[in-house]
């Protein structure tokens, strides 16, 4: 990496532009599954990406969802991110993009629209992007169901993957992530009049309540941080009818593959509490854990770049949440996550980004991509060869 201070100075000069772009991108709502909004946001990003990379995006449409890909022939590094958010359409009206001092707030500002802005700015700072691939998906927040094959294909042809999800609130990159599973437990009972003959019914709400307690105990069996969390719940039709059907969503997170598989086996083995109720389980393991071993060489390289930029104290953190980096790491591809914005409060009303940290994080990403691009191939190289 030649003249690292030039990168930081150039990134600093782009700060105002990055803030303006962030406001534009946050205002372009991209709620899960809302095709008109996802298409509009993809149009915006396609223009930005073409300007930064000097080549047009390939719009990969799967089940109607638009993902954006800029492949490289000799893909030494893949920059990975997503532009969907968890917020429903209309959230921007009640919580518009707002800047107070060096802090910006707004729906999706941290997860992960600021990371995308920094990504494209970093690419504008790099002289040669011919060996850099970029993939931006639009279904990460709903499990990457359509994009996973695309992510895995591009990862397999890459020397390394840099995930531009947000850093920790104090700026740590992410070297390991929990794996995650998503389930839906369907309870079938029998309807009856709740007032005149409730005894003739099989109450799906009562059955699902017992299953909630059973599921809670599964997480308590492990002292290593496994969580089994009942989330979305629906049951019944009217207030005077014994509920015939109930549906319960379950979120599972664990640090190890064995733990995910233990919980998976237990959930698939759930039995009804009420004699005439029936259970069906949908879903399963979505992402296996992201291993620290695959991130260590990239972390060492990022720390070297940070040192040259005058950025102190860059360390790796363990993150409870999963990302698409879990998919790439599971393939054995060197993966480093958390290279996006510094901020916090993801998925919450108070989601924020530290604007004063955007230039240094942009320069760090640009420097790291620059060094990886100059390597013949990152993956097979032993750690001692990394400068």
Q: Is the pLDDT of residue 348 over 50?
A: yes
Q: For residue 224, what pLDDT is reported?
A: 76
pLDDT > 70: percent of the chain: 96
What Å distances lie between residue 34 and 19, 42, 66, 90, 328, CA to CA?
Answer: 25, 12, 11, 12, 26
pLDDT at 244: 98
- Report the relative pairing of strands 343-344 and 352-354 from DSSP bridges: antiparallel
Confidence of residue 76 (pLDDT cuts 50, 70, 90): very high
* pLDDT at site 5: 79
Q: Are 157 and 337 in contact (CB under 8 A)?
A: no
pTM of the model: 0.88
State the Rg of the chain over Cα. Answer: 23
Segments of the chain assigned E as strands: 58-62, 65-70, 77-82, 98-100, 103-105, 132-137, 161-163, 173-177, 179-188, 227-235, 245-254, 278-287, 316-319, 335-336, 343-344, 352-354
The pLDDT assigned to 386 comes to: 33
pLDDT over threshold 70, residue 346: yes
Rounded Cα–Cα distance for residues 320 and 336 (Å): 15
User: Does the structure show a pLDDT above 70 at 223?
Assistant: no
Cα–Cα distance between 174 and 299 in angstroms, integer?
A: 9
pLDDT in tens, 234-251: 999 999 999 999 999 999
Q: Quick check: 49 pLDDT over 70?
A: yes
Q: Please tell me the predicted confidence (pLDDT) of residue 384.
A: 38
- The pLDDT, as a whole number, for residue 382 is 36
Residue 383, pLDDT above cutoff 50? no
Q: What is the pLDDT of residue 2?
A: 63
Q: Helices 15-27 and 358-374: crossing angle, nearest 10°?
A: 100
* Residue-wise pLDDT tens digits, 128-161: 999 999 999 999 999 999 999 999 999 999 999 9
Residue 221 has pLDDT above 80, yes or no: no
Q: Where does the pLDDT of residue 379 fall: very low under 50, low under 70, confident under 90, or very high at 90 and above? A: low
Taking the C-alpha atoms of residue 242 and residue 193, their distance in angstroms, rounded to an integer, is: 6
Indicate the SS3 state at residue 103: strand
Fold held by 179-287: Alpha-Beta Plaits (3.30.70)
Contact criterion met (CB below 8 Å) for 174 and 337 = yes
pLDDT given at position 1: 64
Going from N- to C-terminal start, the domains of the chain cover 4-177+289-385, 179-287
Contact residues for 384 (Cβ-Cβ < 8 A; gap 6+): none
Rounded mean pLDDT, 290-316: 95
Please, what is the average pLDDT of the chain?
A: 94
For 212, residues 6+ apart whose C-beta sits below 8 A from its C-beta are 230, 233, 248
Whether 107 and 349 have beta carbons less than 8 Å apart is answered as no
Phi/psi at 372 (nearest 5 deg)? -65, -35
Give the homologous superfamily in CATH for domain 4-177+289-385: Zn peptidases (3.40.630.10)
């Amino acid at each position: 990496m030649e003249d690292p201070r030039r990168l930081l100075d150039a990134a600093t000069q782009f700060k105002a532009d990055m803030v303006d772009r962030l406001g534009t991108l946050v205002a372009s709502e991209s709620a899960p599954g809302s095709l008109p909004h996802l298409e509009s946001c993809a149009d915006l990003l396609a223009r930005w990406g073409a300007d930064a990379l000097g080549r047009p995006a390939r719009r990969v449409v799967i089940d109607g969802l638009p993902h954006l890909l800029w492949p490289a022939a000799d893909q030494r590094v893949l920059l990975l991110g997503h532009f969907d958010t968890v917020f429903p359409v209309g959230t921007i009206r009640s919580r518009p993009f707002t800047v107070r001092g060096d802090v910006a707030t707004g729906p999706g500002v941290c997860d992960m629209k600021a990371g995308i802005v920094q990504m494209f700015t970093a690419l504008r700072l790099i002289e040669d992007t011919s060996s850099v691939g970029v993939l931006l998906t639009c279904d990460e927040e709903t499990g990457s169901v359509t994009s996973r094959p695309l992510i895995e294909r591009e990862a397999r042809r890459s020397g390394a993957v840099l995930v531009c999800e947000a850093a920790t609130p104090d700026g740590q990159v992410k070297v390991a992530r929990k794996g995650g599973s998503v389930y839906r437990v369907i309870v079938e009972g029998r309807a009856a009049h709740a007032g005149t003959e409730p005894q003739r019914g099989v109450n799906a709400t009562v059955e699902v309540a017992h299953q909630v307690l059973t599921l809670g105990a599964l997480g308590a069996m492990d002292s290593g941080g496994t969580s089994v969390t009942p989330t979305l719940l629906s049951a019944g039709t009217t207030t005077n009818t014994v509920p015939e059907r109930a549906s319960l969503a379950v979120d599972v997170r664990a640090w190890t593959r064995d733990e995910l598989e233990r919980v998976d086996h237990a959930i698939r083995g759930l039995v009804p509490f009420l004699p005439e109720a029936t259970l069906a389980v949908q879903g399963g393991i979505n992402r296996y854990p992201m291993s620290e071993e695959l991130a260590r060489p990239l972390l060492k390289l990022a720390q070297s770049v940070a040192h040259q930029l005058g950025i102190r104290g860059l360390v790796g953190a363990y993150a409870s949440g999963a990302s698409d980096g879990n998919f790439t790491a599971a393939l054995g591809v060197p993966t480093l996550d958390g290279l996006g914005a510094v901020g916090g409060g993801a998925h919450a009303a108070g989601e924020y980004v530290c604007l004063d940290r955007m230039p240094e994080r942009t320069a760090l990403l640009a420097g790291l991509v620059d060094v990886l691009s100059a390597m013949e191939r990152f993956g097979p190289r032993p750690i001692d060869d990394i400068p």
